[in-house]
Amino acid sequence: MKKLLLASVLFFALSGAAHAETIKATVNGMVCAFCATGIEKSFTALPEVDHVKVDLEEKLVTINMKQGQTLDDDHVEKVITDAGYSTNGIVREKNDEPTK
């Protein structure tokens, strides 16, 4: 029984070291902060998304995903299009920090 308990603890500890993904989308037309709030609101409404940062200077939307969650490129592009803009490129980064 003790061995089973130890194996369970080790399993959950190892599976907790999942990667949190960051998606960066370059957006065209994003010049007005008031109008760009739609991008932030639309992404933060998604359960997979942890938080969003909008940067007008870099024309960049940075989407930090929750651990183990992701959004495919089509989904990212649809959210940005529904908010009134167009994407000019999507890149992904994996953060290797384990889950606390």
Partner 1 sequence: MERITIGKLAEMTGISADTLRYYEKMKLIGADRTEAGYRIYSSDTVGVVRFILGAKALNFTLEEIRVLLTLESSDKASCAQVLKRTESKIAEAETKIQELKEVKKVLSRLVKECPADNTPTACCPILDHIKGAAKVAMASFIFILAAGTAQAKPISYVGGTMVMQENDETGHTFALDYTVTPKLAVGLYAKKEAGGDDFYTVGPQVNTLIKRWNLPDGQGNIFNMTGAGITHDGNDNEASVWTGFLADYETRRVFISYEPRFMYAGDIDKSFWQRARVGVAPYLANYDDLNTWLMVQVDHHPTKDDNVVVTPLVRFFYKTTLIEAGYSSNDHVMFNWQLQF
For partner 1, the binding residues (CB under 8 A) are 27-39, 41-42, 45, 54-57, 59, 81-86, 88
- Beta-bridge partner residues of 91: 24
Dihedral sign for Cα atoms in the order 77, 73, 23, 41: positive
Beta carbon of residue 47, minimum distance to partner 1 (angstroms, whole number): 15
Beta carbon of residue 90, minimum distance to partner 1 (angstroms, whole number): 15
Nearer to partner 1, 1 or 34 (CB): 34
Beta carbon of residue 93, minimum distance to partner 1 (angstroms, whole number): 20
Nearer to partner 1, 57 or 96 (CB): 57
| Alpha-carbon span 34 to 51, nearest angstrom | 18
Strand order in the sheet with 20-28: 49-55, 60-65, 20-28, 86-95
